[in-house]
């Protein structure tokens, strides 16, 4: 198994981990798991929760979904062009 696979498998049952902790559990070298975790942070899969001297705690990154902001008339924000706003309102009426 690769370091990434081990990390993903461990995160199915736990919220966070340290490379040292995973190395003790799996018997795989600490530096291999730490390197995989650093790559996963760069790719956006993990985030660093805490750093204590040489120990780094990682967790799965949570994706925040923000709702689309709308004007009271139903058009999206930023319709500076009046023609675009008119077309957007007409499309909303047709779709209803």
Per run of 10 residues, the mean pLDDT along the chain (length 96 residues) is 87 91 91 92 88 87 65 60 80 84
pTM over 0.75: no
- Check if the beta carbon of residue 70 is closer than 8 Å to that of residue 76: yes
Tell which residue, 61, 55, 62, has the closest CA to residue 22. Answer: 55
| Annotated domain spans of the chain | 3-60
4: left (phi over 0), alpha (psi -120 to 50) or beta: alpha
Pick the CATH number of 3-60 from 1.10.1740.10, 1.10.10.10, 1.10.238.10, 3.40.309.10: 1.10.10.10
pLDDT at 95: 85
Q: Residue length, the chain? A: 96
Alpha-helical (H) ranges within the chain are 3-11, 19-26, 30-43, 82-95
């Amino acid at each position: 198994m690769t370091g990434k696979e081990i990390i993903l498998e461990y995160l199915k049952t736990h919220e966070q981990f340290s490379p040292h902790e995973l190395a003790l559990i799996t018997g795989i070298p600490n530096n291999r798991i730490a390197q995989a975790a650093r790559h996963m942070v760069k790719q956006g899969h993990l985030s660093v929760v805490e750093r204590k001297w040489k120990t780094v705690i990682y967790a799965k990154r949570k994706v925040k979904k923000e709702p689309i902001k709308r004007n009271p008339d139903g058009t999206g924000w930023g319709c500076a062009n009046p023609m675009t706003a008119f077309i957007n309102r007409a499309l909303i009426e047709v779709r209803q």
